[in-house]
Every structure is written in C-alpha cells, then in structure tokens.
Structure 1
Amino acid sequence: MSDTTRENELVCVGAIAGAFGVRGEVRLKSFCADPAAIIDYAPLSTEDGSRTFSVDLTRSITNGFAAILSGVDTKEQADALKGLRLYAPRDRLPALPEDEYYHADLIGLLVVDTGGTELGRVKAVMDHGAGDLLEITGAGITGSILLPFTMDAVPTVDIEAGRIVADPPEGLF
C-alpha cells in the first residue's frame, strides 16, 4: 500500500453510544490512547464521508464523554446516531513508534507461523484490560482463536507485506 493511499485512509477514532440527556448531547466512546484527544482529530466523519461533525466534549461520563456534535440538536437526533462510528483521516493522527500499530492496520493481515504456514487472518483486535488480543479466523479454525499480541507470540508485523509472523503458544492452533 503506498503512503499516499494510507494518508487518505480513515481511521475509526470513536463511536456514538446514544443520547445523553434531552438537549442533543451524545454519549461518545473514544478509541484513542488518550481518550480526550479525540477532539484533536475533529472534524470527524462517517466512514462513507456523508456526514461530518465538529465535536465539543462537555464532561466525562462512565465509559466515555458527553459531547455536542454539530447538527445534532435534539435527543431524537442523538438517539438516531447510536452505534455510528466516527472517523478521522490518518494524516491527522500522530505518527506511532516503530513497535506500535493502529488496530485498523492489523485487521485483515495474513497470519503465518514461523515456518511460513498460513494460520488465518486478523478479524479484530480486542483489549479486555490485560493487553491486546488478535482475533484470528480462517480455514481449519472453528470460530476464532485469540492470540496474545505480545512480542513473544507475534515477533513480526509487516504492514507493507500485509502479514504477521506468529509464534503462538503450544496447542493454540
């Protein structure tokens, strides 16, 4: 993937969890490492770019923020946006250190073992509090497998080549 293509890509930085109050505020979940930094990447848009919103965080609430989005003035309008994911262009996001990745960059990558045998593809990246897990799906896998996203289990991530080399714990695959 060329750098020009990647600069124009959108990265999901948050989602609307529904209305907050009766004056058009929304419950905003931030997917940013520093949750309040989501406003630094505004205006945010829908994935297809059909709607764009300026964002003003009004206060912290459980699991996110209460926020005012431009063009959202009523509780009904806020409720109608529940589940909507918000995106920012990659070029507005900070560059990452060499050993860190945006989740969006990992999804879809081919996963091979240290011998080159195909294990599957990354379906999702999850964090349940004890570190990131890669959800791997593919032929020969019933359901999915959760691979710890650690240096031991995933020694190589090559975004440009579109693959991850994994050294999974014994018996995982």
Structure 2
Amino acid sequence: MSDKPVTLAAVTGAHGVAGEVRLKLFGEGVDALKPLRSFNGGTLTLLKIRGDNKGGAIARFAEVTDRTSAEQLRGTALSVSREVLPDLAEDEFYFSDLIGLSVVTGRGDTVGRVCAVENFGATDIVEIERPDGTTFMVPLTKQAVPTWDSETLTVNADFVD
C-alpha cells in the first residue's frame, strides 16, 4: 500500500465564474489540505483553499481560470503521494487503502469488494459491492470488521445481509 496515492478530496463542481471549484473532503478537513500545493502528479497546483461552512471546501487551482474549466473537473479525485503526508499512527489508515479490497466472511466466503468508505457522523462505514452489483454497508468496528490487510477485508457473517 505504501506506493499507492492517497485521495484526499474530489471536485463536485464549479463555484462562481472565476474558476474556483467545490470539494468533497475525505480526510481531516480543509486544514489538512492547506499545506499541500500539488495534486494528481503535479497536474493541479493549489493556489488557495477555504472551508465552505458545510463540511466541504472551495479551492482555486492555477490551471483552472474560468467556470467552464472548473466544470470540466467535476468528478476529479484529488490525490497526493504518501511521501508528502504525515506518518500514520499504528491504528490509523487512509480510506483509500480500503477501496477495492476483496471482502470475505470469517468463514472464507467471498462477499464482494469495498467500493466506498463513508462517515455520516457516528462511525466509519464500509460500502461493499456484491458481484451482482448490489451494495450494502457495514460499520467499520471490530465487531463487524475484525481484520483487514493490503488485499482482503474480513466481515463478520452476521453483518452480511
């Protein structure tokens, strides 16, 4: 996992007419992005960023100078190399480390793949996509998700519906 870029935000659309964009944040908030200057391998250079008072952010990139260019970024994930981020404590992880992991039960039954990690306020939630395309969510607690590694996330079978 150490060479995999970390996605910290995604562009949700344009803000105003001068090229600013709205961001959905996936981390510790807007302050975690302020020291960063370059995203997506240097293709986007952050000039300024501020909170939007709704849990997201408004950003300006050097390469985006008008509303049309800002709209074209809608859906773009903003990632950085792990080297520019602070070291993680032993019990910390990046949500992006879980995306794409194979999901199995403690008995070894294949369940699907992790397609998203969300937090709606109470705890982190793992969204799992089954092979048939349907999804379900499981709380990211020791009871529901006893273990995971770089390839597999194990879910307690009681939480698989």
Whether TM exceeds 0.5 here: the answer is: yes
For 1:29-60, what per-residue CA distance to the aligned partner results, in whole angstroms no more than 9, with x for missing partners? Answer: 32222332112232112xxx482322311453
Asked whether 1:92 is paired with 2:81, we answer no
- Equivalent residue, structure 2, for 1:150: 141
Q: Return the match for 1:165 from 145, 154, 161.
A: 154
Could you tell me the percent identity over the aligned residues? 35
For 1:84-127, what per-residue CA distance to the aligned partner results, in whole angstroms no more than 9, with x for missing partners? Answer: 22111122122222222211111222222222333322222222
1:130: Cα distance to partner?
Answer: 2.4
Q: Contact 1:24/1:73 (CA < 8 Å) preserved in 2?
A: yes
AA at the equivalent of 2:147: T
Are the structure 2 counterparts of residues 91 and 147 from structure 1 closer, same or farther at C-alpha, using a change threshold of 3 Å?
same
Distance in 1 (CA, whole Å) between partners of 2:75 and 2:154 is 33
TM-score, normalized by length of structure 2? 0.83
Deviates more, 1:129-138 or 1:100-109: 129-138
Distance in 2 (CA, whole Å) between partners of 1:69 and 1:135 is 31
Distance in 1 (CA, whole Å) between partners of 2:138 and 2:86 is 27
Asked whether 1:133 is paired with 2:125, we answer yes
Are the structure 2 counterparts of residues 112 and 43 from structure 1 closer, same or farther at C-alpha, using a change threshold of 3 Å?
same
TM-score, normalized by length of structure 1? 0.78
Query: What are the ranges of 5 or more consecutive residues in structure 1 without an aligned counterpart?
Result: none
- Equivalent residue, structure 1, for 2:47: 55
- Equivalent residue, structure 1, for 2:20: 25
- Equivalent residue, structure 2, for 1:38: 33
Equivalent residues, number? 161
1:64: Cα distance to partner?
Answer: 1.9
The structure having more radius of gyration, on CA atoms, is 1
- Equivalent residue, structure 2, for 1:78: 70
Asked whether 1:13 is paired with 2:27, we answer no
Are the structure 2 counterparts of residues 84 and 165 from structure 1 closer, same or farther at C-alpha, using a change threshold of 3 Å?
closer
Q: Contact 1:12/1:86 (CA < 8 Å) preserved in 2?
A: yes
Are the structure 2 counterparts of residues 61 and 34 from structure 1 closer, same or farther at C-alpha, using a change threshold of 3 Å?
closer
- Equivalent residue, structure 2, for 1:65: 57
Query: What are the ranges of 5 or more consecutive residues in structure 2 without an aligned counterpart?
Result: none
5 Å-filtered alignment, 1:109-124, equals 109-124=101-116
